[in-house]
Amino acid sequence: MKKRIYRQLQKNSERTIEKLISEYSGYVYTILFNMVGGYCTEEDLEEMTSDVFIKLWQNLDVLDKSRSVSPYLAAIARNLAKNKLRSINARPDFCEFEDIVSDGTDVADSIEWLEDMSLLQQGIDELSLVERELVIRYYFYGESLNSLAQRLAISDANAKVKLYRARKKLKAFLTERGFENET
């Protein structure tokens, strides 16, 4: 079955391409949405989904024909999503200054808090893409480790280890720059 799909794709079979898109477009879209959904419009996501199938078709000659097509689609989707995030320099917004100052706190405390958040942002920027994704989604968006492991296609244990290592890197980064945890 796997080899037949590849052979039919190489023959430029329109029916095979349509079947592949019909069968896997939801899968590809979900991967893209989970990675860049907050940073892209619906049209961008649909275009990126199409781009995944185009890239698969363009690289048929280098694919291992004994493997299923879905891991290739997932890898292409993840790479396109990472490139999109890099191109728009996507970073989560940790705060807006007006929100902090307008809540009645002391301005000096607000400025110190902003400086701490800026330092934290710098530390997060030093992490790898996967570590960044884990830290931001776990601590800022409250996603579970299980959900993150599935999103990143890694085991729960691997996600836990990567998150632990990312915390250690952040702690070292912050400590080197004089940040002291007061609690």
Kindly report, residue by residue over 109-134, the tens digit of the pLDDT: 656 666 777 778 888 889 998 898 89
pTM of the model: 0.47
Reference 121, options 49, 170, 161; nearest CA is: 170
Instruction: Please tell me the predicted confidence (pLDDT) of residue 155.
Output: 93
Q: pLDDT band for position 169 (50/70/90)?
A: very high
> Of 87, 111, 137, which one is at a domain's C-terminal end?
87
Q: Which helix (H) or strand (E) holds 9?
A: helix 2-10
Which stretch of 24-33, 47-56, 86-95 has the lowest confidence by average pLDDT? 86-95
% of the chain beyond a pLDDT of 70: 73
Asked whether residue 15 is assigned to any structural domain, the reply reads: yes
| Judgement on whether residues 13 and 76 belong to the same structural domain of the protein | yes
Higher pLDDT, 125 or 161: 161
The mean per-residue pLDDT over the stretch 30-37 comes to 83
* pLDDT of 152 strictly over 70: yes
Q: pLDDT band for position 95 (50/70/90)?
A: very low
Token pair in block for residue 72: 């290739």
Q: What SS3 class is residue 155?
A: coil
Asked whether residue 182 is assigned to any structural domain, the reply reads: no
**Mean pLDDT, the chain, as a whole number?**
77
Reference 49, options 15, 88, 2, 84; nearest CA is: 84
**DSSP assignment, residue 138?**
I
Quick one: 166 exposed, middle or buried, by C-beta within 10 A (0-12, 13-18, 19+)? buried
| Judgement on whether residues 102 and 171 belong to the same structural domain of the protein | yes
**Domain limits for position 171:** 97-176
Which stretch of 8-12, 53-57, 158-162 has the lowest confidence by average pLDDT? 8-12
Asked whether residue 68 is assigned to any structural domain, the reply reads: yes
Number of domains observed in the structure of the chain: 2
Residue 123 and residue 136 in contact, taking contact as beta carbons nearer than 8 Å: no
| Judgement on whether residues 83 and 10 belong to the same structural domain of the protein | yes
* pLDDT of 162 strictly over 90: yes
* pLDDT of 60 strictly over 80: no
Quick one: 133 exposed, middle or buried, by C-beta within 10 A (0-12, 13-18, 19+)? buried
2-10: list long-range contacts, CB under 8 Å, 24+ apart: 2/65, 2/66, 2/67, 2/68, 2/69, 3/65, 3/66, 5/69, 6/60, 6/63, 6/65, 6/69, 9/57, 9/60, 10/60, 10/61
